[in-house]
Structure 1
Amino acid sequence: MTTAAQVLTFGGVVALGAISPGPDFAVVMRRSVLAGRAHGMATAVGVAAGVFVWAIAAATGVAALVAVSAVAFTVIKLAGAGYLLYLGVKALRSALRSRDLRPDLNTGPAAGSGLWAAFRDGLLCNALNPKAAVFFVALLPQFLPSDAGLVPLLTLSMIAVVITAVWFLTVANLVAAARRVLGRPAVRRWIDGISGTALIGLGVRLAFTTAR
């Protein structure tokens, strides 16, 4: 049986993982600046959905297969790296556009792509990261007994989802609140350039990462 102390410890580890800088943060921030609060929050929910996918995968053994199978790990790794590179190049192209951006906060490179696209970016950014599989494979068994049933599994999975969602929803709202400043054309180009470079760097790093 999972104790309250174990639940708190599990929540603390998940929280540390969530707040660590990475592609999830870059995607949520960029969406929030360019398209507003709703898009940023949709991206945050997508990231949380990706965490839920990996938590369930870890508990059912799928994530363990990804972690130990060189082929599965490589396939997901390359797919994730490719998606991060795609997002990074897209951001850099936006930053390097020759035409001036109008200071209209209701338009922008990401504004017209819809809430579903924002959710998809968050989901794929997390779900295509095989390092998340390794993280949950290493973490969940420490807090679940060998004979754990469905309830403990769902409890820990939902804790991971809620913590992740709360953090990234907070990021989305804080960034959106400062959008009047961050949404200025020059600042937006700067954010696009920084986030694009970061995403490309993270994509390259993911492409060369290993399971161990």
Structure 2
Amino acid sequence: MTSLPQIAGFGTIVLLGAMSPGPDFAVVVRRSAASGRLYGMAAATGVAVGVFVWVVAAATGIAALLATSAMAFTVVKVVGAAYLLYLGARALRSALRSGGELKLDLPDPGRRNAWAAFAEGLFTNVLNPKAALFFVALMPQFVSSGSSVGETLVLSLIALAGTVAWFMVVANVVGTLRKVFARPAVRRVVDGLTGAALIALGVKLAAATRP
């Protein structure tokens, strides 16, 4: 039976993992700055659901298959790296494109609903095999082979809640400062830095090998 100290320890580790800089953080920040608080929160929810998926996958052994199968790892790695490079290139294109001030009551062109932002956050996390490796290493310390479905569900929900709480804070802070981010010069800097970061993370992921 998973004890309360174990649950607290698991939640703390997952929260610290969510707070570490990475593609999830970059996507939530850019979506909040570009499209507003609602869209940033949608992206944050997508990231959290991705974490939930990996926790369940790790607990059921699916993520372990990804960690041990060179082909599965490579496929997810290549697709994930390509997606990050695509997001980075799009951000850089936005930074280089001249234009007027961003209107605060409209989302980015082509991103007219929160589902698109949610999908962006979800795919950024789910297509990252490093997330699978993280939870494959973490879950055995908290879930034994005899653990019940209920215990796995509790840990999955803890991971979901901790991740969404952190990224909701990020989305709301950035969304509150959106008038600053909406200035053309600031927007270009944010897009440029985010694009460069996503491309760097995509290249790093493409070069990653299984431990």
Short-chain TM bin: over 0.9
Question: What stretches of structure 1 of length at least 5 have no aligned partner?
Answer: none
Cα deviations by residue, 1:15-60 (Å, 9 ceiling, x for unpaired): 1100000000000000000100110000000000100111111111
Is 1:84 the counterpart of 2:84? The answer is yes
Aligned match of 2:23: 23
Residue 165 of structure 1 deviates from its aligned partner by 0.3
- Let me know the Cα RMSD of the aligned residues: 1.2
- Residue identity opposite 1:156 in structure 2: L
Aligned to 2:5: 5
1:187 and 1:85 map into 2 onto residues whose CA distance is 22
Q: Which runs of 5+ in 2 are unaligned?
A: none
Structure-2 separation of matches of 1:134 and 1:112: 31
Other structure's SS at 2:113 match: helix
Match of 2:141, as an amino acid? Q
Residue pair 2:33, 2:181 contacting (<8 A) in 1 also: yes
CA shift digits 1:126-161 (9 cap, x unpaired): 000001111111111111122001000000010001
The structural deviation recorded for 1:113 is 3.6
Letter in 2 for 1:64: A
Give the match's secondary structure for 2:146: coil
Distance in 2 between residues matched to 1:101 and 1:90, nearest whole Å:
18
Q: Give the 5 Å matches for 1:110-121.
A: 112-121=111-120
SS at match of 2:2: coil
SS at match of 1:148: coil
- Which residue is 1:194 aligned to? 193
Report 1:104-115 matches (<5 A): 104-107=103-106, 109=108, 112-115=111-114
- Matching of residues 1-212 of structure 1 within 5 Å: 1-98=1-98, 100-107=99-106, 109=108, 112-212=111-211
Superposition misfits of 4+ residues, deviation over 4 angstroms: none
Q: Could you say if the C-alpha distance between residues 110 and 23 of structure 1 is closer, same or farther in structure 2, counting changes exceeding 3 Å?
A: farther
Deviation of 1:93 after TM superposition, in Å, equals: 0.5
Give yes or no for contact 1:34–1:111 (8 Å, CA) kept in 2: no
SS in 2 for 1:104: coil
Moved more, 101-110 or 196-205: 101-110
Q: How many pairs does the alignment contain?
A: 211
- Note if contact 1:91-1:196 (Cα within 8 Å) is conserved in structure 2: yes
Shift of 1:79: 0.4
User: In structure 2, what residue type is equivalent to 1:11?
Assistant: G
Contact 2:54 2:132 survives alignment (8 Å): yes
* Cα shift at 1:107: 3.6
Contact 1:50 1:123 in 2 (8 A): yes
Q: CA–CA distance in 2 between the matches of 1:139 and 1:194?
A: 31
SS at match of 2:93: helix
